[in-house]
């Protein structure tokens, strides 16, 4: 909520509260005065009745012309007198006059009425109401206790015939003048003879009070609105308009406009605020310029660095990075900002170099693995800067991490190790193969001699067949070892791949037919001609088909050879897929190792030779396998032209 709205609400609330207090007080006082006026009217009416009774009593009654409907008071002395002209006058007692006045007030319809009552009325029509009875009993208690107030009275509001009245009840005290009509045995001077009950109508008064209340509420609302409007206009001109200029200047400052001038138009609190704001704006302008220069320098150093750099906070959260991180990981800087360091670097892969920094501490330099956006990972060398980087609060809690891609170095190192291992294994295998081949030749000659020597002995012939099969297997192993140790010299020439693939399928089809397995070849007719070694590729495909046949369940199943040209990538892709038993997950990383095999009749050199021939062509071989579902080998070979020469 804006300040102007708050100010309007506060001013209106304060004025409304003040007006409510004032007008409520006035209304309460007015109501009290009206009720007091009603009560005074009732008292005056009561006093007039009492005065009239007292005057009649002091004069021992009053004579009025006799009416035929009115009986004389025969128990009074001189109850009838005659005038000189012969008219008869009868004597009226105070009680009679009071009763007749009461009946007259009720019949006039003006609303005012009264009657006399007592605890023991002679006339049943003067019997007291419950309120009057309680009042008389209370008056008697006060007199008997000696705590008689100046005036014995009681009053309440009540509804009579659907109209509201103020009932005033005052005590009617016994005096000496009462003994004119009553004997001493009837009353005691100073005692309560009864009471006079006066009814004063209230409906018109209450209606006037409601109209007055409505008028006062309307006046209060009008006063609140007018006063609030006046105060708001004054405050707006003196305070809000000037604060608005400060607000606009602050918004300009928020948008980066540090040149907006804020005029100081008065020497008061708002003027002091404007001056302080202008000074703050000048300081921010200077600090911002210095910060921009520092940030440009920092960005230039960060972006021009040949390494991928991460800015990491104290809680290992990535705060920033340079653009090289995108080339390394595939993630944009915005995608990794705010992520934990473990989002990129695998915390489980860390090999410390242990290089001393020269001051007795170990330098934070180690090898790790970085996660790429495509799900792969890369080996990296991580160097943590020992110089902390200040954060936004000026505290030196951030660090710089330099990441260097060492995948090529790792590949070369692995290739060197593999080459050295293969070279040593080849030399060892070649020597062993030569030493085994000569004894095998002698064993085979002797077996053939024995077979010729005992042609009719079935036991010798059975043993001869078994031993000859074993010798042939050993001889095949020796040939494979020699092929591995002294590989066929590649002869690259521009050829068509389709005839080579058809020849390979034709060579092994009879073996597939004997095993009741199916073999399909899917080769497009428009494969481009390119440079490759036909003999080497033929050996690769035959080895893969032989392995696929051995992987089929009970020799039956399906194997397919599919070839496609990926001209956009400059490669040809050959897939050999089977629906056999598959390769266990734990064996996938070892299937290309020399002499590794799970087949009882295998030598463990077939896939090793496949990998070597494909790499001689500058390609690669990959495998996808699901146990129980089958295996797919994918051979990728570059589409070399006549002008291109394979790398050594």
Alpha-helical (H) ranges within 454-605 are: 458-485, 497-514, 534-551
Q: Token pair 């860390």 is at which residue?
A: 350
Q: Cα(610)–Cα(314) distance, rounded to whole angstroms?
A: 51
Q: pLDDT tens across 105-159, in order?
A: 777 766 788 888 888 887 788 889 899 899 988 888 888 888 778 888 898 988 8
Q: What is the pLDDT of residue 633?
A: 94
Q: pLDDT tens across 365-407, in order?
A: 888 888 888 888 888 888 887 666 665 555 566 788 888 888 8
Return the higher-pLDDT residue of 112 and 496: 496
- Whether the model clears a pTM of 0.75, i.e. scores above it, the answer is no
Residue 491, pLDDT above cutoff 70 = yes
Q: What is the pLDDT of residue 483?
A: 64
Inter-axis angle of helices 606-616 and 458-485, nearest 10: 30
Q: pLDDT tens across 540-570, in order?
A: 999 899 889 888 877 678 999 999 998 888 8
Which range among 362-366, 381-385, 511-515 shows the weakest confidence by mean pLDDT? Answer: 362-366
In the chain, helix, strand, coil percent, each to 5?
A: 50, 20, 30
User: Do 600 and 583 form a contact (C-beta atoms < 8 A)?
Assistant: no
Q: What is the pLDDT of residue 77?
A: 59
> Could you count the other beta carbons within 10 Å of the beta carbon of residue 47?
13
Which range among 202-216, 478-492, 495-509 shows the weakest confidence by mean pLDDT? Answer: 478-492
Q: What is the pLDDT of residue 111?
A: 72
Q: pLDDT tens across 47-74, in order?
A: 888 888 888 888 778 888 877 655 555 5
Question: Bridge-partner residues for 101, per DSSP?
Answer: none
Q: What is the pLDDT of residue 635?
A: 94
Share of the chain above pLDDT 90, in %: 9
Q: Cα(175)–Cα(165) distance, rounded to whole angstroms?
A: 30
Q: What is the pLDDT of residue 356?
A: 46
Structure tokens at 141: 């208690």
Phi, psi dihedral angles at 350 (to 5 degrees): -155, 115
Q: What is the pLDDT of residue 637?
A: 92
Which range among 11-15, 579-583, 631-635 shows the weakest confidence by mean pLDDT? Answer: 11-15
Share of the chain above pLDDT 70, in %: 78
Q: Cα(280)–Cα(274) distance, rounded to whole angstroms?
A: 10
Return the higher-pLDDT residue of 17 and 254: 17
DSSP string computed for 79-140: -EEE-TTS-EEEEE-HHHHHHHHHHHHHHH-SS-EEEEE-SS-SSGGGPPPHHHHHHHHHHH
Q: Cα(78)–Cα(90) distance, rounded to whole angstroms?
A: 8
Q: Cα(312)–Cα(214) distance, rounded to whole angstroms?
A: 72
Q: pLDDT tens across 570-618, in order?
A: 899 999 999 988 988 888 888 888 777 777 666 677 888 888 889 888 8
Q: What is the pLDDT of residue 358?
A: 47
Q: Token pair 């006799």 is at which residue?
A: 66
Q: pLDDT tens across 288-323, in order?
A: 778 777 777 766 766 667 778 888 887 888 888 888
Residue 78, pLDDT above cutoff 60 = no
Q: What is the mean pLDDT of the chain?
A: 79
Q: pLDDT tens across 180-196, in order?
A: 565 554 454 457 788 98
Residues 6 or more apart whose Cβ sits within 8 Å of residue 90:
63, 64, 65, 66, 70, 72, 73, 79, 80
Q: What is the pLDDT of residue 83?
A: 83
Return the higher-pLDDT residue of 434 and 219: 219
């Amino acid at each position: 909520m804006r300040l102007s709205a708050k100010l309007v609400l506060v001013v209106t609330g304060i004025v409304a509260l003040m007006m409510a207090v004032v007008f409520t007080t006035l209304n309460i006082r007015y109501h009290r005065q009206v009720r007091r006026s009603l009560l005074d009217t009732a008292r005056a009416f009561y006093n007039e009745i009492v005065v009239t009774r007292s005057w009649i009593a002091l004069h021992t009654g009053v004579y009025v012309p006799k009416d035929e409907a009115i009986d004389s008071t025969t128990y009074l002395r001189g109850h009838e007198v005659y005038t000189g002209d012969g008219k008869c006058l009868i004597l009226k007692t105070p009680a009679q006059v009071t009763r007749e006045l009461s009946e007259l007030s009720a019949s006039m319809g003006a609303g005012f009425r009264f009657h006399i009552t007592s605890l023991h009325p002679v006339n049943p029509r003067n019997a007291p109401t419950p309120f009057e009875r309680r009042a008389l009993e209370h008056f008697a208690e006060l007199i008997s206790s000696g705590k008689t107030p100046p005036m014995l009275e009681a009053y309440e509001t009540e509804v009579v015939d659907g109209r509201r009245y103020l009932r005033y009840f005052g005590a009617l005290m016994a005096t000496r003048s009462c003994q004119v009509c009553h004997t001493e045995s009837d009353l005691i001077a100073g005692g309560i003879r009864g009471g006079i009950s006066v009814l004063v109508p209230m409906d018109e008064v209450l209606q006037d009070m409601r109209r007055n209340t409505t008028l006062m509420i309307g006046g209060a609302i009008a006063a609140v609105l007018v006063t609030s409007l006046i105060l708001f206009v004054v405050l707006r001109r003196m305070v809000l308009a000037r604060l608005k200029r400060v607000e606009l200047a602050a918004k300009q400052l928020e948008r980066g406009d540090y040149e907006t001038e804020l005029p100081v138009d008065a020497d008061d609190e708002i003027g002091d605020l404007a001056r302080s704001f202008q000074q703050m704006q000048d300081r921010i302008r200077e600090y911002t310029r210095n910060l921009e220069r520092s940030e440009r320098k920092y960005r230039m150093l960060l972006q021009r660095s040949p390494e991928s750099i991460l800015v990491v906070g104290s809680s290992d959260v990535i705060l920033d990075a340079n653009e090289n991180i995108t080339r390394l990981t595939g993630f944009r800087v915005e995608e990794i900002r705010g992520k934990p360091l473990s989002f990129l670097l695998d915390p489980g892969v860390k090999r410390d170099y242990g290089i001393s920094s020269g001051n007795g501490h170990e330098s934070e330099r180690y090898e790790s693995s970085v996660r790429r956006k495509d799900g792969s990972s890369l080996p990296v060398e991580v160097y943590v800067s020992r110089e902390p980087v200040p954060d936004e609060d000026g505290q030196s809690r951030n660090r710089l991490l330099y990441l260097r891609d060492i995948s090529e170095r790792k590949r070369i190192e692995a290739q060197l190790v593999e080459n050295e291992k293969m070279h040593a294994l080849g030399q060892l295998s070649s020597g062993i193969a030569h030493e085994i081949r000569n004894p095998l030749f002698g064993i085979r000659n002797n077996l053939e001699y024995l077979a010729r020597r005992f042609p009719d002995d079935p036991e010798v012939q059975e043993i001869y067949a078994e031993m000859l099969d074993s010798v042939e297997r050993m001889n095949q192993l020796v040939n494979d070892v020699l092929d591995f140790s002294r590989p066929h010299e590649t002869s690259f020439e521009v050829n068509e791949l389709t005839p080579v693939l058809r020849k390979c399928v034709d060579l092994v089809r009879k073996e597939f037919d004997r095993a009741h397995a199916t073999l399909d070849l899917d080769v497009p007719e428009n494969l481009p001609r390119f440079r490759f070694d036909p003999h080497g590729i033929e050996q690769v495909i035959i080895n893969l088909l032989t392995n696929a046949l051995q992987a089929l369940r009970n020799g039956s199943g399906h194997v397919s050879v599919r070839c496609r040209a990926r001209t956009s990538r400059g490669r040809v892709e050959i897939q050999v897929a089977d629906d056999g038993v598959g390769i266990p997950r734990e064996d996938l990383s070892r299937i290309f190792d020399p002499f590794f095999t799970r087949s009882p009749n295998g030598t463990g050199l077939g896939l090793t030779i496949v990998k070597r021939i494909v790499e001689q062509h500058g390609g690669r071989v990959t495998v996808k396998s699901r146990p129980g579902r089958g295996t797919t080998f994918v051979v990728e070979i570059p589409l070399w032209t006549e002008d291109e020469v394979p790398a050594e």
